Amino acid sequence: MITGKNYIGNKLSATGNYSFKTINPKLNTENPTAFVEATPEEIEEATQLAATAFKTFRNVSGEDKAKFLNAIADEILALDQELIDVYTTESGLPEGRAIGERGRTVMQLKSFANLVANEDWKGNTFDAAMPDRQPLPKDDLRKTVIPIGPVVVFGASNFPFAFSTAGGDTASALAAGCPVIVKAHEMHAATSELVASAIIKAAEKTGMPNGVFSHLSGRGTVVGSALVNHPKIKGVGFTGSIGAGRAIFNLASQREEPIPVYAEMGSINPVVITPNAIANRGEAIATNYAGSITLGTGQFCTNPGLILTIEDENTPDFITALAEKTVAIDAQCMLHPNIKAGFVKNSDSVTAQGGVSTVAKITSDVADNFAASQIATVSGADFLANPKIHQEVFGPFSLVVTSKDEAELIEIIEALEGQLTGTIIAEDNDIANLSEVVEALTNRVGRIIFNGVPTGVEVCPSMHHGGPYPASTNAKYTSVGTDAIQRWVRPISYQSFPSELLPKGLQK
């Protein structure tokens, strides 16, 4: 049942005076439940409870944490159609997307459960003592990783399940042994509360300490800022805009004790298409990328917002085909009126820059909060001369940049900010000449794709979902895949310790 209240551990609480409602973007109307913003006292109670829970939870066995994570997955599934209906009502996304994203979320939880069921993921190392070594003896040294402490996770607007309340940040932090406080995204607060109720039930059923999970609502930045600034919080997970992510990073850096912020932020995900690929299969590429650009109304962090190619006699026809196929796809609903307003503002800003031409745009009337997809183009020289053209447009928009030659193409790639992904579309006879393009892209991205689309992020150990700033705040770490757990632990070495005092995985 949706209450509009906050979970302070397993207790529902709503003592504040401020509330807000979510919006049904398809109907452009408010949903009925009012969500009460957490007060400073409730924030304090949740953080203190998390700190107390950490003393127990950090020592919970991997086997028992696995039971907890699997129980969360089961409880989410038990919410059944009610959860799907609330998701679609608050997000404007279709039921098929809701079911698929729920499945991914459940799979993520189960993947981390499998990971922590034994000690292998910790990468424990052992260096035996050498008391007779000359000129100096060597002590016994053993190294493992330990959880960092209570973590704040900010729900993401575009993935109400997979990057939000029980998403990858929460699942990986709990797997590591860190209590989690979720700051619900105000665009899907009801969806978030239902998922939070599933986590609380799972914690109670598996005997986890009260405070291992809390869930707070709030408008704007007040609640989130208070959580990031609280001295009991030891790390932050965030998925969203560059502006919000950087603000959180700055807050965390300015604390008396700075803490890590693992923020996945902006990306335009450049796609390099060779002239040979356009000549041989331009129509098929145009069809494929029209689908990728409009998938989920373009509201994926890996949306291909920048297409790079070298001008030749086939380029104009390819750009026309891509534009026509993109705008032929029906307009779709965006997540929220604010996101639609941002899409209009940013797409208008890019297309207003000198040298940028709109090739095609849906011109028929679209419903409130629906997006008119758009393809624009610009020369390589104009793109290089104006950084304003490089900005992310969150929605069904892509800019095609035509370079005069390969040298200019490389210069464009090297001028880009950090990105989540880079893609190369090429033919077999291009491969021998692609090394410079590959090298340039790998210096700017966290994942590089060959003859595919960037949309779609596989959850597996080999996935890296991060990249140089501003794609993320730390390019070493991923927010997708089992390696995401490494964000919430730190190494510790034990020197010459008696076995009885060592963690179980290091005992002699």
Tens of pLDDT, residues 331-348: 999 999 999 999 999 999
Question: Which sign does the torsion angle of CA 319, 321, 324, 330 carry?
Answer: negative
Identify the burial level of 387 via C-beta atoms within 10 angstroms of its C-beta, where 0-12 means exposed, 13-18 middle and 19 or more buried: exposed
**Do 176 and 316 sit in the same domain of this protein?**
no
The answer to whether residue 461 sits within a structural domain is: no
Q: What is the pLDDT of residue 504?
A: 87
**Do 294 and 345 sit in the same domain of this protein?**
yes
Tens of pLDDT, residue by residue over 359-376, are 999 988 899 999 999 999
CB atoms within 10 A of CB 51: 18
Peptide bond preceding 468: is omega within 30 degrees of 0, i.e. cis?
Answer: no
What CATH number is attached to the domain comprising 202? 3.40.605.10
Rg (C-alpha) for the chain, rounded Å, is: 24
Q: Rounded mean pLDDT of the chain?
A: 97
Q: How confident is the model at residue 456 (pLDDT cuts 50, 70, 90)?
A: confident
The answer to whether residue 463 sits within a structural domain is: no
Tens of pLDDT, residue by residue over 92-127, are 999 999 999 999 999 999 999 999 999 899 999 999
Residues facing residue 499 across a β-bridge: none
Owning domain of residue 308? 270-450
- Asked if residue 261 lies in contact with residue 238, where contact means CB atoms within 8 angstroms, the answer is yes
Identify the burial level of 317 via C-beta atoms within 10 angstroms of its C-beta, where 0-12 means exposed, 13-18 middle and 19 or more buried: middle
Domains in the chain, number: 2
pTM over 0.85: yes
What CATH number is attached to the domain comprising 308? 3.40.309.10
**Do 167 and 137 sit in the same domain of this protein?**
yes
**Do 101 and 224 sit in the same domain of this protein?**
yes
Q: Where are any strands of DSSP class E within 25-136?
A: 29-30, 35-36, 125-127
State the number of CA atoms in the 13 A half-sphere of 351 facing the CB.
18
**Do 24 and 145 sit in the same domain of this protein?**
yes
Residue 379, phi then psi, degrees to nearest 5: -75, 160
The answer to whether residue 327 sits within a structural domain is: yes
d(CA 26, CA 499): 61
**Do 64 and 188 sit in the same domain of this protein?**
yes
The answer to whether residue 330 sits within a structural domain is: yes
**Do 147 and 274 sit in the same domain of this protein?**
no
Q: Tell me, yes or no, if 301 is annotated catalytic.
A: yes
Task: Catalytic residue, from 42, 75, 193, 264: name it.
Answer: 264
Task: Please identify which residue in the block is written with the tokens 């981390």.
Answer: 112
**Do 62 and 162 sit in the same domain of this protein?**
yes
**Do 362 and 482 sit in the same domain of this protein?**
no
Q: How confident is the model at residue 227 (pLDDT cuts 50, 70, 90)?
A: very high
The answer to whether residue 456 sits within a structural domain is: no
- Asked if residue 389 lies in contact with residue 294, where contact means CB atoms within 8 angstroms, the answer is no
Q: How confident is the model at residue 299 (pLDDT cuts 50, 70, 90)?
A: very high
User: In which element (H, E) is residue 454 found?
Assistant: none
Task: Catalytic residue, from 301, 333, 392, 408: name it.
Answer: 301
Q: What is the pLDDT of residue 365?
A: 87
Tens of pLDDT, residue by residue over 231-281, are 999 999 999 999 999 999 999 999 999 999 999 998 999 999 999 999 999
d(CA 346, CA 354): 15
The answer to whether residue 184 sits within a structural domain is: yes
**Do 136 and 243 sit in the same domain of this protein?**
yes
Q: Tell me, yes or no, if 500 is annotated catalytic.
A: no
Here the tokens at position 201 are: 């039930």
d(CA 444, CA 98): 32
**Do 58 and 173 sit in the same domain of this protein?**
yes
- Asked if residue 213 lies in contact with residue 179, where contact means CB atoms within 8 angstroms, the answer is yes
The answer to whether residue 462 sits within a structural domain is: no
Tens of pLDDT, residue by residue over 378-422, are 999 999 999 999 999 999 999 999 999 999 999 999 999 999 999
Q: What is the pLDDT of residue 364?
A: 86
**Do 260 and 347 sit in the same domain of this protein?**
no
The answer to whether residue 459 sits within a structural domain is: no
Task: Decide if pLDDT at 447 tops 90.
Answer: yes
Tens of pLDDT, residue by residue over 22-31, are 999 999 999 9
d(CA 315, CA 312): 6
CA angle 161, 464, 143 (to 5 degrees): 105
Q: What is the pLDDT of residue 18?
A: 96
